[in-house]
Amino acid sequence: MSSTIEPETEFARVPDGFERLWTPHRMAYIQTEKPDQDDDVACPFCAAQTKSDEEALIVHRGQTCFVILNLFPYNPGHLLVCPDRHVPGYLDLTDEETAEFTLLTKQAMRAITAAAAPHGFNLGMNQGEVAGAGVAAHLHQHVVPRWGGDANFLPIVAQTKALPELLADTRARLADAWRQD
């Protein structure tokens, strides 16, 4: 019995009942060689501090910590609170840094609430690569706004999140709300 194998060029022409959501912007992250983040020169959070707020998507700079938009957000307005210093863990913070880190987390929640009226928040830190930290060498806390119904079928079925707003627009809106707090 002989079997015929279809050429792969024909697959795209066969209707299969699936809708396609193209996210070519994700390819930049997938194909980028990940730098050694133990080196503060290669660290994206250390590099962001040398750029303008608009270019780096920094929403607020404090005395020892800063707040920046996540480049790959779970939801619009997903912020990261980071110490200025390149340290990997929460226990590495000084008392002064810990106080500001906590204060900026609260201020981030207030700014997001003023700008976008979320129904709730997810807050969290992943300490170390094994815990899921994408940038394990530089501590950061996630502040993720949540709305009822914000988790639809796309993340579950397609591992894709649809975001309705450009990062620069989100940064501007949150920076304005921060100044009004």
Q: Which among 78, 86, 140, 142 is annotated as catalytic?
A: 140
Active site residue 140: yes
**Where are the alpha helices (H) located in the chain, listed in sequence order?**
25-31, 44-48, 53-56, 95-116, 153, 167-180
Following CA atoms 102, 104, 109, 115 in sequence, which dihedral angle do they give, to the nearest 10 degrees? Answer: 180
Contact by Cβ (8 Å): 135, 43: yes
Side-by-side strand order, sheet with 79-83? 58-61, 65-69, 79-83, 141-146, 120-124
Tokens of 89: 């863990």
Q: Which residues participate in catalysis according to the annotation?
A: 140
